[in-house]
Amino acid sequence: MALQVIFILVALVTLAMALGTVLARNLFHAALFLIGSFAGVAILYLLLEAEFIAVSQMIVYIGAIATLIVFAIMLTRSVMGREAGAQNTYALVIGACAAALFAVLAWLLTTVRFDVNPQEVPEDAIAQIGEGFVTFYVIPFEVASVLLLVALIGAIMLARERHVQ
């Protein structure tokens, strides 16, 4: 019972952080809310006893992607200037789409019966996951890392050109 209460509290905090990410007017604050949301998801994985996914969430999302986003914001913020504006003109449309998606998901969860058959976890589960990453998923990971590196270099170049002129 106590774990369920902790799970619900962490889920609510994670949801609040996600809303803060979307609703924050300051881009840097939105990035900080995003980091909090990533951390909340990692804690939820820990509570679900998926330690490998939780650690992966911490390393990949908080350690790499969120750090890259913060650096990109810090390096390109002066490039954007005042004309960039932080107003979202599609807020009502996005809100309606989000409400429709929530309604569809709620309908699915209440009408569809999911049969769950728990199975025994193999002893070498971590080795199998690692082998799967190295064999099939190595190319998407490498493409994502190169893309993030190019984005970071682009942000540095934009900031450098702005300061040189």
Q: Domain extents for the chain?
A: 2-80+126-164
Residue of 39, 46, 47 whose CA lies nearest to 17: 39
Q: For 124-154, how does the pLDDT look when each residue is reduced to its tens digit (9 = 90+)?
A: 988 888 887 778 777 877 888 888 888 878 8
Q: For 77-117, how does the pLDDT look when each residue is reduced to its tens digit (9 = 90+)?
A: 654 555 555 566 777 888 899 999 999 999 998 998 888 88
Quick check: helix, strand or coil at residue 1?
coil
Cβ pair 29, 17 in contact under 8 A: no
What is the structure's pLDDT at 162?
61
Cβ pair 21, 73 in contact under 8 A: no
Residue of 36, 71, 74 whose CA lies nearest to 57: 36
Quick check: helix, strand or coil at residue 19?
helix
- Hunting for tokens 């005042």 — which residue is that? 82
* Lowest-confidence segment of 5-9, 19-23, 83-87, 140-144 by average pLDDT: 83-87
Residue of 8, 52, 60 whose CA lies nearest to 35: 60
Residue of 17, 19, 21 whose CA lies nearest to 39: 17
Predicted confidence (pLDDT) at residue 76 exceeds the cutoff of 70: no
